[in-house]
Structures are given as structure tokens and as C-alpha cells.
Structure 1
Amino acid sequence: MSVRTIGVVMNGVTGRMGYRQHLVRSVLAINEQGGVTLSDGSRVKLNPILVGRSESKLADLAAKHGLTDYTTDLDAALERCEIYFDAQVTQARVKSVLRAIEAGKHIYAEKPTAESVEEAVALAQAAEARGVKNGVVQDKLFLPGLLKLKRLVDGGFFGRILSVRGEFGYWVFEGDWQQAQRPSWNYRAADGGGIILDMFPHWHYVLENLFGKVESVYAKAMTHIPTRVDERGVPYEATADDAAYGIFELEGGIVAQINSSWTVRVNRDELVEFQVDGTHGSAVAGLRNCRIQHRGATPKPVWNPDLPVTARFRDDWQEVPDNAEFDNGFKIQWEMFLRHVLEDAPFPYDFAAGARGVQLAELGLRSSAEGRRIAVEGL
């Protein structure tokens, strides 16, 4: 069995997501399993070329994993690769991706692809004009819980879907008496922060791929905690939204309501959960698990505030079995993109899809600023 190696520039791997999910759990994991298997039975391994601004950080990271190829010179790295991957902060992404497109490299990037829909569309157009394959990370589609939910949708379990309710978030400490779990730039609008720009692109591809096209948005963005403390222990003004409350109308009359918050304490089984209600049944899906209640097994609660509740409503739900082996969602999409590049396998999660996610975030911010529902026009 033949095995060959291709170069992959990985820009931004000193950050949390770029390191854990993309370098360690995707690229290095693919190599550890012997590479990606193509349709002809051959295998392809990856040579990660680490790129970033700090040579010392890159050197430490490379030494930790037995890697030798790293540089702060993006252009030099692009000369030695076939694929460019970007996990930088959003503000730095467009410029670097355009350099990779101009160099004729295939592009895979974290979301959001840009801070504005104008820039996101420009990236998609530039990639198409240059004839390079392109993709955007849409990892939540490959989570076990949402794969089970997709299985239910495809199997007609819900009948006519009525609504989707999403709850995402957790308490991010302010940084004074306990260290914050997220970097301070997330809370500065000038640095590309804000939960709408971070999460609405996620919600767009989840809604679009599982339930239907998003036709309108009404959102309320909030900065609940106005002052936080940064990594150096210095207080700063939080100018970006740390919570967003959104209502999305989907094709077919489905209404989706999703709350996103870094200022909520978790009282649910997982950090994100989606409840889907339909005429024939309902489901609640998280990152890994999914529970269902069919209409034939739906209890008949009676409202009576004068008596204590004795029913255990969660006991009336049934766990959806795995029925499959679930790999890391980021790794699955990496393998899909590699097959797309190497043998033109289908890959629908391109820069155009990424631009639609950025559009929803931009319209969400506009909806909040103007206090009104806004229709989502096609890109």
C-alpha cells in the first residue's frame, strides 16, 4: 500500500483551538492512524508546517510533538505546502488567507472566515477565481449528539418540525478572583470579539444543514459584564457582547430560538443542548447524547400550581443509541477536506457557506442595534 506525504501550513496553532483540536486531535491523529485512506486504497500523511508570530512558542510546540518544521515566515512556508490552514484570531485571517489563495494553495479555515460579510464574500470569490479548493470548519455537525439528531430528521421521526430551542453557554470568570477561561480579546469589539460573531456562524450551519434555510433573524445582544480583567491582571472595558438572544425563522415555518451566553451558570446536561419539537415526536440533543419522546409515549401533564410536582419528566425520555463509532468531529472534517483536495470528493462546507454564517452574525448585530426583525437575503 503506497503512502505519500503532503505539506500543510498550520497558521495559529499556538492558540487553544488550533493546537488542541486541529494539530493534536486532527492532523497528528491522522498521521498516527497511518494517514487518510483514499478511494484507490492509497494513504496520505500530512507534514504540518507550523506558522505563527512567536518563534519560541512554535519551537516549544514542535519539540513537544517531535516536529521540526516551523517558521514565522508565512510566504516561505507557503512555498512548501499544498494546503493552507488558518486558525488565527479572526482579524488576522483575511490577509493571510488571501496570500495563500494568491499562492495557489487549497484553503481550510476556522470560522468565522472574516469579520464582515463583504470580506467573507470576497474570500469566496477570490478562491473561486484562483481555482483553489476551499473549506470552513463546521465542527458541530460532526458531534455525536447532532449526528444522532440528523439521523432522526432523515428518518422522519419528528413528523412536521415545529420549533428548535437551543441553549449554549457557561460562566466565564471575570478574571479578577478567578482566571477567565477565554482570552480577553473575545470581549473587545475592536479586536473582533463578541459572542454573536463567534456563535451565530455555528448556529447558521447547524440550522441550515439540519432543518432548513434561515429566512430571518431577530436578536438582542448584551454586554452583561462591562468590566473584566485581562491576562496581565489589568482591568479593561468589555465592549463586545457576552450574551445574545436570537429568534430565527426557517423555511417551512420552523421557528428556532437560541440563547448564547458567557454569563450563564449551567443547569443542563451539556454545555449546548437543542430541543426539537415536531408533530410526531421531540428530541433533546447535546454534544454527545440525544434523548427522544415519541407522541405515543408522551405523558399528559396537568397544570396545578396548588400541588407539588411528583412526576419526573426526564424519566419519560428514551436515550438514542450510538449505533456507530463516533470519531473526533474536527478530525472527521479534516479527512473529508483532504479527500476533497486529493480526489475531488464532495465537500459542501466551502467559503460560500462560511460567508452565509458571517452574514447571519452581521444581521444579528444589526437586528440588535435597530431593534427589529431582519430578513436574510441570499448570497
Structure 2
Amino acid sequence: MGYRQHLVRSILAINEQGGVALSGGERVLLEPVLAGRSEERLREICRRHGLERWTTDLAGALRDPGVQVYFDAQVTTARVKAITQAIEAGKHVYTEKPVAETLEEAVELARLARRAGVRTGVVQDKLFLPGLLKLRRLVDGGFFGRILSVRGEFGYWVFEGDWQAAQRPSWNYRAEDGGGIALDMFCHWSYVLSTIFGRVEAVTARVATHVPERVDESGRAYRATADDAAYGIFELEGGVVAQINSSWCVRVNRDELVEFQVDGTEGSAVAGLRGCRVQHRAMTPKPVWNPDLPVTHSFRDDWREVPDNEEFDNGFKVQWEMFVRAVVEGTPYPHDLLAGARGVQLAECGLRSSAQGRRVELPEIVL
């Protein structure tokens, strides 16, 4: 993720287009300093892309007055320490999520950043998917009338690693290493739901570890201690009910790896990564339940595609441009560490709901 989406498709792509465009017409180029544990890998990445600056000494890089922004794409367990160091060094912080393993840690990071007066940003890439941008356009345009419910399906089968290599790293399935699909995906659903539909006020969830044993990158079997599926009911402000299933143990029988269906009094929509289909109230067919006769009507044909109406750039790149612009121009950035803390809060409350078998309310976070 850090290499492909953030370095290659965002930072280097921004420089190739001439930099980040500022509101006054100027442009800002980015000079990356790669930090990591392996000298060999860092040298190879720099050689491949014509970069010059790399280091295995993160603390030393943070002391460099020429470095203005710290970006974190490490495993979750290493994130809090590094972000704390960056904030204490006076650096602006942009980070992948989840920002921390616990709500307490996430809130403390947000407080620390506020006291230090630095800009912070958390990657919220799902908001910039073409399908969800179209969905938000429908919400903003009043297409749905009063929104009643949201239903989401996310996931795919992640191979166990024995007869086929897994598509995800093994730490994702070890709780002691910060793994678990609830911590990962509930952070996404937090900002998707709150930004497009309304703040999450309560959650009822059930998590599971459906595949108890997997095989790691070295071919060694290990016990999966983290949840690989999470089923959640989210109560939103205004009475909207959202149900989202997240699973790495499901085989895909849908058009895209993630799909959301939104139903309202005036119309409905189904949005995926790129596409979005709608059905208006006046065009809704009249289904009749009759299990004794085969269904001959094609319900999918009653839906219409929402047009693009614009060119959609890479969502990770768009967010980098937004954050750099906020840093240079000194303007607020909406998706900050407080927003990241709300994601951790939803994951934490979801796990508590599953463990205790009850509905859990989410209080407002006060810094």
C-alpha cells in the first residue's frame, strides 16, 4: 500500500503532473525521503524511480528541518510510537488507518497534534471511489427522499496459504500483531457512513474467526487469533439503519468487491467501486411472491446507470493533493486524527458488542 498507492500512484504521479496546484496558481513539488528497515529494499526502490533520499534512521529523518510532513504506512502496532515522535518533532502527519489499536491511544494522538499545532490527515480512500462519489451526489441532490436503510457487502476469499498463496499478509490474522477485519474495515465504515449518511450513534456486531489456521509467507502454519469476518448493524443519526458484512471468508457473487444498497422513500441506488445504478420510485416494478412459478422478470434491467459527469482521478492521489494544499496554505483538513479516532472507536465498540452480546452506543469524542 505504501509503495504502490502512496509513493508510485500518488507522490511520484503528482510530481509528474507538475506538482500540487495551490489556490493562487502556484505549484508545489514533493521530495520524498524513504524510511524503512531494509537498506537493500530502500536502495532498490530509489534506483527504480530515480530517487536519492532514503534512511533506516526514522528519528534522524524527523530531526531534519527540511522535512515537513511525516507519512505512516507501517503495521498498526508500530504507528502510535512513530506518529508521536513526528508530532513532537513538529512535523505535519498524514497516516494510513487505523491510527491506533485503541481509542485511548487514538484520542491522545489527536490531542497531542492539537497542542503542537500541526496539521494531521488520515487516509479515507473509500470516499473517493467513483461509485461512492456518485452515491454522495445522489444524496446531496435529494434523490432518495428520506433515507431508510443502507446495506453493504464487502469481502472476498483470502486463500489460507497452503495450496495457494494468501493475497493478504499473515499479520492481518494475528490479533497480537494488530490484525482483524473489524479493526481494519470498521474504520472505513465509520467515515463512509458519517460523511455520506450521518454519524454512527450505536452498533450491534458479531465477529468471527471462520478459518482458525493459516499458513504464513514462509510456509509455516500458524493459529489465526484475529477475526476474519465482522457482521455489523449501525444506527445512524436521523433513524437510518445500516447493515454491513465484512469478510475475508466469502466468495464473490456480486458485480464488485464492495457494494452498498441505499433505499429511500423516493428511490434506491446500488453503488460499488466504480459503478452506481438507481431505481426511482416511479420506475419501481411490482414484484409478486409466488414460489410455485419461475421468475421470468429481470429485476436488474429495471435499474439505470448514473453517468460519470466528470473524470475520476486516483483517490489516494487526490487525498495527497488535498493534504499538501492544507499544509502549505494553512487551511483546515477535514479527515484529521480526530476522524481517525472515530474509526477506532467504532471498531472498539463493535468488538465490545460482539464480546458482550449487546448493543453499544458511541459517545461523542471530546478532545
- Structure 1 segments (4+ residues) deviating >2 Å: none
Matched ranges for 1:173-322 at <5 A: 173-322=159-308
Partner of 1:9: none
Q: Could you tell me the TM-score, scaled by structure 1's length? A: 0.95
Kindly indicate whether the alpha-carbon contact (under 8 Å) linking 1:204 and 1:357 is maintained by their aligned counterparts in 2.
yes
C-alpha distance in 2 between matches for 1:62 and 1:264: 38
Instruction: Give 1:210's aligned amino acid.
Output: I
Structure 1 gaps, min length 5: 1-16
C-alpha distance in 1 between matches for 2:24 and 2:302: 48
Instruction: Give 2:174's aligned amino acid.
Output: R
Partner of 2:340: 354
C-alpha distance in 1 between matches for 2:301 and 2:110: 48
Partner of 1:48: 32
Please report how far the alpha carbon of residue 121 of structure 1 lies from its aligned counterpart in structure 2 after TM superposition.
0.2
C-alpha distance in 2 between matches for 1:272 and 1:355: 23
Instruction: Give 2:33's aligned amino acid.
Output: I
Partner of 2:10: 26
CA deviation digits over 1:174-225, x for unaligned, max 9?
0000000000000000000000000000000000000001000000000000
SS at match of 1:300: coil
Kindly indicate whether the alpha-carbon contact (under 8 Å) linking 2:119 and 2:333 is maintained by their aligned counterparts in 1.
no
C-alpha distance in 2 between matches for 1:227 and 1:204: 29
SS at match of 1:47: coil
* Residue number among 333, 355, 367 corresponding to 2:319 in the alignment: 333
CA deviation digits over 1:126-180, x for unaligned, max 9?
0001110111000110110000000000000000000000000000000000000
RMSD (Å) for aligned C-alpha atoms:
0.6
C-alpha distance in 2 between matches for 1:197 and 1:104: 28
Partner of 1:57: 41
Partner of 2:59: 75
Kindly indicate whether the alpha-carbon contact (under 8 Å) linking 1:336 and 1:345 is maintained by their aligned counterparts in 2.
no
Please report how far the alpha carbon of residue 40 of structure 1 lies from its aligned counterpart in structure 2 after TM superposition.
1.3
Q: Could you tell me the TM-score, scaled by structure 2's length? A: 0.98
Partner of 1:8: none
C-alpha distance in 1 between matches for 2:28 and 2:84: 26
Deviates more, 1:76-85 or 1:263-272: 76-85
Instruction: Give 2:119's aligned amino acid.
Output: K
C-alpha distance in 2 between matches for 1:313 and 1:248: 28
Percent identity (aligned): 74
Structure 2 gaps, min length 5: none
SS at match of 2:363: coil
Kindly indicate whether the alpha-carbon contact (under 8 Å) linking 2:204 and 2:359 is maintained by their aligned counterparts in 1.
yes
Partner of 1:3: none
C-alpha distance in 2 between matches for 1:224 and 1:75: 40
